[in-house]
Structure 1
Amino acid sequence: MGKEKKGLSSEHPPADDNAEVQRGTRRRGTVLEDAILLAAWEELFTVGYGHLTMEGIATRVQTNKAVLYRRWPNKGRLIMAAMKKFLPESHKEVPDSGDLRTDVLILLRSVAEPLQIIGAETIHGLLVDLLDKEKISSIPSMLQTRGNSRINIAMKIILQHAQDRGDIHLEKITPRIISLPMDLMILEVFTRHEPLSEATLNEIVDEIFLPLVTGGRG
């Protein structure tokens, strides 16, 4: 009897693998994960974040939703993984055009571009799904400068170039000012629930950031 049970067990894989068996193939590892991420990305732009479900993604990829939940606890985490895979990478090289305003705008656009691609609904949905009420109430403290972030490091290099040209005095610029453009961008997205426009980026740079770092000298 024990052997018969063992034989039956080997013929009936776990429920979360049944869909893979029915397809006539057993996708595993990165092959399966890549297929899920692609399905999630396509489903996002087909139905929108508000109507996106783990079941819908599983149907598109032709597997069981339990397969998804084994890897990601909710649709927010799954979409974040898809964004990491499919959104264009921001500039890895620090801009050095010879003009402070141009360099800062290039840097900020590299951050804004992915937000414009995924759209306001997805941004808002992710904020709601990935931040509980306690975290939402602590957003101001979360927006404080992070000295080792890639954007802040790039901004420091841009400002160093500007000082080398004699445009600014870096010793008068505090860490809070250096992080200010990025903090304002995050705040805009969080409060307005929409991607950043070129006009908003220009206003952040021209009306707020540049006057602070140049001492109002243009």
Structure 2
Amino acid sequence: MSLKGTRRRGSELEDAILSAAWAVLIEQGYPNFTYEAVAARAETSRPVLYRRWPQREDMLLAVLRRHWWSQPIPVPDTGNLRDDVITFLRSASTARTRMVAMLSVQIMDYIRETGSSFAQLRDALRPAGLPNAFEQMIARAVERGELPDRPRPPRMVNMPFDLFRNELLMTMREIPDETIIEIVDVLWLPLLGYRGRAG
């Protein structure tokens, strides 16, 4: 049934717009991600979009934020850091590979046009003030006595996901289990001073 003739408001209207905008982005790419195309797909008017997102970049970030965080990857709590991180990376490989592959192609024009970077885009999409998954897993490991309680630079904390993301962008395929285990066991845990479960 067509949406024309129905009066949508609030979250119902915004959901319809963001769903339409996602479809335009994936099917047509960022160059065709315009107010006109999104309004036509959502069967609404351009002023409705302008009121919510005055700049095209605002609309893009709203779309990416909605679809990236609509299915968050749970932060495991298995009882030890090693299994937590391996479980998290396996879940990320299953859940994010297809989306990252699509977006790395469709968003490249946005990166070029705005002179920004994937790191800046990631920071814009990340919820402010919340610890990321690796900060949470390390904090629990410290409480359990698996790690010494000392400051660690963000690059060290996030190294498994940085290596994972690099592998994903280079291959555009799900990450093999042996690669995940190598990242965790060979590279990361020794760097952290991991000593396993206390006792």
Q: TM-score, normalised by structure 2?
A: 0.65
Cα RMSD after superposing both structures: 3.9
* 1:88 counterpart (39, 53, 71): 71
Q: Which has the larger radius of gyration?
A: 1
Post-superposition Cα deviations, 1:154-200, rounded to whole Å, max 9, x if no partner, equal 1223422552xxxx4424673343232234345556x6384662444
Mapped contact 1:49–1:125 kept (Cα < 8 A) = yes
- Measured in 2, the distance between the counterparts of 1:201 and 1:111 equals 11
1:179-218 alignment runs, 5 A limit: 179-188=158-167, 192=170, 194=172, 197-199=175-177, 200-214=179-193
Q: In 2, Cα distance between the equivalents of 1:101 and 1:113?
A: 19
The answer (yes or no) to whether the contact 2:148–2:193 under 8 Å persists in 1 is no
Q: Distance in 1 between matches of 2:20 and 2:33?
A: 11
State whether residues 35 and 61 of structure 1, in contact with CA within 8 Å, keep that contact through their aligned partners in structure 2: yes
2:63 maps to 1:79: yes
CA contact under 8 A between 1:104 and 1:158: conserved in structure 2?
no
Unaligned runs of 5+ in 2: none
User: For residues 147 and 76 of structure 1, what CA distance do their matches in structure 2 show?
Assistant: 22
The 4+ residue runs of structure 1 with deviation greater than 6 A are none
Task: Map Cα deviations across residues 85-117 of structure 1 (whole Å, 9 max, x no partner).
Answer: 6x31221xx533234321112233455555324
Instruction: State the identity as a percent.
Output: 29
Give TM-score scaled by structure 1 length.
Answer: 0.61
Counterpart for residue 178 of structure 1? 157
Q: Is the 8 A contact 2:24 2:32 kept in 1?
A: yes
CA distance in 1, matches of 2:8, 2:83: 47
Whether the 8 Å contact between 1:112 and 1:196 is mirrored in structure 2 is yes
Partners of 2:94 and 2:50 lie apart in 1 by: 29
Residues 78 and 84, structure 2, Cα contact 8 Å, conserved in 1: yes
The number of residue pairs the alignment matches comes to 181
